[in-house]
């Protein structure tokens, strides 16, 4: 006793679409679809309002499909800056109730309110107050789940969406999991569900009937242990630790497949710049470069390389990206997507001595940072490489 924790999971309802409906009241009650427009080739839905969901529209669906299902849908490109602004407003409210706020994505967070009863009152009251405060501050509804672990609180928040509140009382964690369809278990996606079904299991109870060792034998050490614990409502560790590593990447899907080397390299140059700017503006470092290529048949491959020294300029990054890309380039295959990422990103170089930059690199780095500074002060004064202009010309 006394070790029970109380976690609230706060999840915005149809976040991007709700922000649009709030900012533009004429959209209220209408099927709003935030994401790519149907006429944009290869674009998808980011968020659909509940009105649009009634037509079967959902996230990640091609926008053209969404348009077919819901011709009266109002398609909006979306404004990430605005969404981020509302998001931080909400996180600030949560921060008033506990120092232990874990933001999971732009529209959800969990907060540990264990032991705050004397300060703020009963947990249910805190949950309802948070809902009310967020509504007053932003005009948006959220769904809140309450349970003894982050994982279960997250599942609880899904139960009465939208504008919901649901508690999994201490002691009934296992019963809750046994009542949950397998497809709703967070962490079991399409592929894993199929795998579980092929092994002859169709419900959480089916899995519950199997000994730990058997699950590990059939599904491997990690997945086996996860399944064993999750159906018992026990801590799975899936949402707990701090991220071990960090990466920065950008990718682009072309409206029409690229077929020539020059266009592909121009795209890589542009990606090198955006990735490097993001890295530099956070004052971070990386020496691992990954190029991602998706071919016209949707086969997706990656080529990766860890360098001796940290990358300090977008030119240097571009050179490495180009070399990696050329290893896999095949003139016979169209290119649908190109991505470029840096992984194992660090905040500091632990050993400056071990990675002295040569003078040229230092100079280039200084220029790069100056450009970045100008860009962030005067976003309209976009200093771009001549080649990018050239690439944009038809």
Partner DNA sequence: TCTGGGGTCCTAGGACCC
Nearest C-alpha neighbor of 77 from the set 49, 45, 122, 125:
45
d(CA 335, CA 324): 15
For DNA (CB under 7 A), the number of binding residues is: 58
The two three-digit tokens of residue 331, written as one number? 């003139």
C-alpha to C-alpha distance for 390 and 266, rounded to whole angstroms:
9
Binding to DNA (CB under 7 A): which residues in 119-178? none
Cα–Cα nearest to 28, from 45, 51, 11, 12? 51
- Residues 119, 99 contacting (CB under 8 angstroms): no
CB 47 within 8 A of CB 16: yes
With binding defined as CB under 7 A, does residue 103 bind DNA? no
Stretch that binds DNA, among 22-30, 112-120, 142-150, 292-300 (CB under 7 A): 292-300
Given a contact cutoff of 8 angstroms between Cβ atoms, the answer to whether 11 and 153 are in contact is no
108 flagged as catalytic: yes
Site string for DNA, 39-68 (x = CB under 7 A): --xxxx-x------------xx-x-xx--x
Least Å distance, CB 112 to DNA, is 19
CB of 250 to DNA, least distance (A): 4
Considering only 1, 25, 99, 191, the residue that binds DNA (CB under 7 A) is: 191
Q: Would you say 103 or 116 has its CB closer to DNA?
A: 103
Active-site hit among 20, 26, 85, 108: 108
Q: What angle do CA 283, 363, 276 make, to 5 degrees?
A: 35
| Site for DNA contains 199 (CB under 7 A) | no
DSSP state, residue 106:
T
Q: Is 205 in the site for DNA (CB under 7 A)?
A: no
What distance lies between CA 159 and its chain's CA centroid? 22
Two tokens at 225?
């242990």
Contact characters 301-330, DNA, x per CB under 7 A: xxxxxx------------------------
- 203 is an interface residue for DNA by CB under 7 A: no
What pairing do the DSSP bridges indicate for beta strands 288-295 and 74-76?
A: unpaired
Shortest separation between residue 278's beta carbon and DNA, angstroms: 7
- 389's torsion region: left (phi>0), alpha (psi -120 to 50) or beta? alpha
Of 172 and 247, nearer to DNA (C-beta) is 247
- Report the residue from 128, 159, 193, 199 that binds DNA according to the rule CB under 7 A: 193
Q: List residues near DNA by CB under 7 A.
A: 36, 41-44, 46, 59-60, 62, 64-65, 68, 104-108, 186-193, 220-223, 241, 243-253, 278, 288, 297-298, 300-306, 336-337, 339, 341, 343-344
């Amino acid at each position: 006793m006394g070790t029970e924790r109380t976690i609230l999971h706060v999840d915005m309802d149809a976040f991007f679409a709700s922000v649009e409906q709030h900012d533009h009241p004429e959209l209220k009650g209408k099927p709003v679809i935030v994401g790519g427009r149907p006429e944009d080739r290869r674009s998808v839905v980011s968020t659909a309002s509940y009105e649009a969901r009634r037509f079967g529209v959902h996230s990640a669906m091609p926008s053209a499909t969404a348009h077919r299902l819901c011709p009266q849908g109002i398609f909006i490109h979306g404004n990430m800056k605005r969404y981020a602004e509302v998001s931080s407003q909400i996180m600030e409210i949560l921060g008033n109730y506990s120092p232990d706020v874990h933001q999971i994505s732009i529209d959800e967070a969990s907060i540990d309110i264990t032991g705050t009863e004397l300060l703020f009152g009963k947990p249910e009251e805190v949950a309802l107050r948070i809902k009310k405060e967020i509504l007053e501050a932003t005009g948006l509804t959220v769904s809140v789940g309450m349970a003894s672990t982050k994982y279960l609180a997250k599942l609880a928040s899904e139960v009465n969406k939208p504008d919901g509140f649901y508690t999994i009382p201490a002691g009934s964690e296992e019963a809750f999991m046994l009542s949950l369809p397998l497809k709703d278990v967070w962490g079991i996606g399409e592929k894993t569900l199929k795998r579980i079904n092929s092994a002859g299991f169709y419900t959480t109870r089916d899995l519950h009937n199997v000994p730990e060792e058997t699950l590990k034998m059939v599904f491997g050490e990690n997945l086996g242990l996860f399944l064993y614990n999750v159906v018992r409502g026990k801590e799975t560790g899936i949402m707990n630790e701090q991220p071990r590593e960090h990466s920065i990447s950008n990718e682009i899907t072309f409206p029409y497949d690229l077929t020539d080397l020059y266009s592909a390299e121009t795209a890589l140059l542009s990606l090198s710049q955006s990735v490097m700017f993001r890295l530099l503006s956070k004052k971070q470092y990386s020496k691992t470069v990954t190029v991602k290529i998706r071919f016209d048949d949707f086969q997706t491959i990656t080529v990766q390389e860890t360098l001796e020294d940290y990358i300090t300029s977008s030119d240097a990054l571009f050179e490495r990206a180009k070399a990696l890309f050329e290893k896999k380039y095949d003139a016979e295959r169209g290119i649908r997507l190109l991505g470029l990422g840096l992984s194992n990103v660090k905040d500091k170089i632990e050993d400056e001595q071990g990675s002295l930059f040569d003078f040229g690199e230092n100079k280039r780095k200084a220029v790069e940072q100056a450009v970045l500074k100008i860009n962030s002060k005067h976003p309209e004064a976009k200093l771009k490489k001549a080649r990018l202009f050239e690439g944009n010309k038809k």
